[in-house]
Structure 1
Amino acid sequence: MTQAGAYGQRLGQFLRLKDAPPALVARSLRSAELAVTETRNDQPVPGLSGSLAAEDAFLVSLKLHDYPDCEVWERGKSIMKTDIRAGTTYLYDLKRDPRYVIDKPFHSLFFYIPRSALDGIAEQSSAPRIGELDCQVGVGHDDGIIRHLGASLQEGLRRPDEANQLFIDHMMLGLTAHVAQAYGGLQRTSAPARGGLAPWQAKRACERLESDLGGKLSLQKVAAELDLSVSHFSRAFRISIGLPPHQWLLHQRVKAAKQLMSVRDLPLTEIAMSAGFANQSHFTRVFSSIVGASPAVWRREALGGSSGEA
């Protein structure tokens, strides 16, 4: 299947990277692909970047490394030079063929947002369609929300096996909504629904999520089964259950692990896999953060004896 958007391998080719950079993809708005890609090259070969296919989409980039005297191009012409600072956010309109001269080490996160995703956000917010985003050449933004979301997604990029699809969908949906409001002028024309899910909806949603402890199920699929938009479902689920779907799923994994540790003398590695964790270290990290003790310590105390596992 051919990749459609400017992320992952295509973005790596644009930046002339030898290997495809890590990317996480969400499909949560009108089946649009939203993605985040981490790009880095500490020893680039100097030259102009490649060119991305023109499309009605945007790249939002969080710079993780200073890049002084950056020569920026648009529509085949050199436009200006500007100093780029780590922690700053820049927006690029892919209809304008944005490029730049690569002549220094770089490290960035790129969030790929197609027009259809912005249209979906506006529709779900009962707001007018967004026009153009604020993509001024060379203008950076001090955006704390992008930095926070970027840091969370960077953890997922470094350990993709541990990033469940609900988490990726949740983060990318939040980022797209923020971009629409901060740089697209999105304004809600009606207040968001304040109520939670109906009891039958909450029960069904929990059953569907619990049926896939591995976290491959998307927010879009669960929301569609309840005939709700993704943003409405996420908000209503949190109101009814007390946690966002991806965090609730982690608690269910811990619950399943506790049951396995209480009744069967299984190795922790097997318990981790059975409860939907990527590996034992992922299991230990999540379990410890939720329970306040490592799995081995919890099992030792729960069984009232000693377990040989550390």
Structure 2
Amino acid sequence: MLRQGRFAAAVLGLLMMVTSCASGGGDAPASTPGPSVDTMFGQVTVPSRPQRVVALGWSDAETALALGVQPVGASDWQGFGGNGVGPWAAGLYTQPPAQLGTTQPDYEAIAALRPDLILNTRSSGDPAQNEILSKIAPTVGPPPGTVAYGTGWREQTRLVSQALGKPELGEQRVAELDGRLRDAARTHPELAGKTVAVAAYYGNKWGAYLPGDPRVEFMTDLGMKNKPEINALANGTFYTDIAHERLSTISADLTVVFPIGADARQLRDDPVLNQIPSARAGHLLVLDDHELTMAFSSGSTLGIGYAVEHAAPRFAAALRGS
């Protein structure tokens, strides 16, 4: 009870702080009520024409940019630096956004930007975080029934486009990328129906991605199936740890692995990884192109568009063993 009381007091203090920041220092943008959008926290009424958008969720900034809106502040989840987005989106900013936190948002800095809309559509779905953000500005969280960081690119594009008052453009972006994905699947028919495992090496640990993650969604869009044994490890998030001695779990018709904060040579030289069946059969792909890995992981229409062109051929070649 004491711990809960301290948490409640901390939240109350933050709410008082951000309310003070949001109400002071310059004129806030005019906000005419607009449509309501459905989130896991209920319906949220957003401004009809938001002028100062803060993009906090994974790839929310790239999604807004693809719809012609430049956030005034954004979170750089993938550590791009600069404007905080991939090279496929960096040129869409004319004014650099303020860089904000990721898992621990700087609420005071967010409030100081005087946003009239906050996008947090691919996020942890933390209720306490959403409560604080909603005191600053209308906050669009993940859609209902979504695991942590599990908002798909279609849902994210549609949710963000609705919040920005551009639902038709959002549907256009979805249709455009769907068409490119169908073309890639037709170009590489060998991918259809094959099992795939996507895994990363991070912090001296291995882990596999689960349904809801953009990398798994991308492979599914190309006609592949995430390995069922990995799906069975679903734990309410997008990722599950895999013990090094159990790396055979990620053996599938195609196994795709990449390092995060490590050298790809560590993976290529890993004796346990090299002994899993897919590696012995020549169907292991170690992604060593950092830009390509980032595009593959981005989960935005812009990043996925880059990955369709550059990653899909490599997946098909690895499946062929060439």
What TM-score, normalized to structure 2? 0.27
Name the larger-Rg structure. 1
